Amino acid sequence: MSTKLASNKKLFNAIIYLASFVSGSCLAAHQAMVGKICADFGASSTVMGTVIGALYTGSFLMVVIFGELSEKIGKKRVVLITGLAVSTGALTVALAPSVTVVTVGYFLYGCGVGAFESTIYAAFTDANPENSNRYMCIAQAIYSLGAVVSPILVGQFFLGQPFAWKNAYIVIVAAFVCSTTLVFTRKNITNQVSPAAKGEKLVFLKLLRSPTLVVYMLVMLCYLGFESGITYWAVNYFDELGASELGTYAISAYWLVSIAGRVVGSFIKREREALCLSLGIAAVGMGLTALAPSPVIKLVGIGIVGLGFAPAYPTLLGAGVRQFPQFSGATFSVMTFSGALGGSLFQPLFGSLVAATSTQFVYTAIFVGIIVMAVALTINVKCEDRLLARRAAECALEK
Structural domains of the chain in order of their starting residue, each with its CATH number: 7-189+201-398 (1.20.1250.20)
- Long-range Cβ pairs for the range 292-298 (8 Å, 24+): 295/238, 295/241, 295/242, 295/243, 295/246, 296/246, 298/237, 298/238, 298/241, 298/250
- For residue 1, is pLDDT > 50? no
Q: What is the mean pLDDT of residues 319-348?
A: 79
The predicted model scores a pTM of 0.74
The CB density around residue 352, as the number of other CB atoms within 10 Å, is 16
Q: What is the mean pLDDT of residues 61-69?
A: 82
Share of the chain above pLDDT 90, in %: 35
- Nearest 5°: the CA angle 21, 373, 211 is 90
pLDDT in tens, 334-366: 888 888 888 888 888 998 999 899 999 999 999
pLDDT computed for residue 198 by the predictor: 55
Handedness of CA 344, 346, 351, 355 (dihedral sign): positive
Per-residue confidence band for 18, with pLDDT thresholds at 50, 70 and 90: very high
Query: Is residue 251 within 8 Å of 151, Cβ to Cβ?
Result: yes
pLDDT computed for residue 191 by the predictor: 58
Q: What is the mean pLDDT of residues 252-265?
A: 82
pLDDT in tens, 160-210: 888 999 999 999 999 999 999 999 888 766 656 555 555 556 677 777 788
Per-residue confidence band for 217, with pLDDT thresholds at 50, 70 and 90: confident
DSSP codes, 229-277: HHHHTHHHHHHHTT-GGGHHHHHHHHHHHHHHHHHHHTT-S-HHHHHHH
Per-residue confidence band for 3, with pLDDT thresholds at 50, 70 and 90: low
Distances in Å between the Cα of 384 and the Cα atoms of 159, 283, 314, 389 are: 49, 23, 21, 9
What residues have CB less than 8 Å from 379, skipping those under 6 apart? none
Q: Give the best-scoring range by mean pLDDT among 48-52, 130-134, 327-331.
A: 48-52
What residues have CB less than 8 Å from 216, skipping those under 6 apart? 316, 319, 320, 335
Q: Give the best-scoring range by mean pLDDT among 5-19, 80-94, 318-332, 342-356.
A: 80-94
- For residue 262, is pLDDT > 60? yes
pLDDT computed for residue 199 by the predictor: 56
| Region of poorest pLDDT, from 11-15, 50-54, 314-318, 333-337 | 314-318
Higher-confidence residue of 91 and 376: namely 91
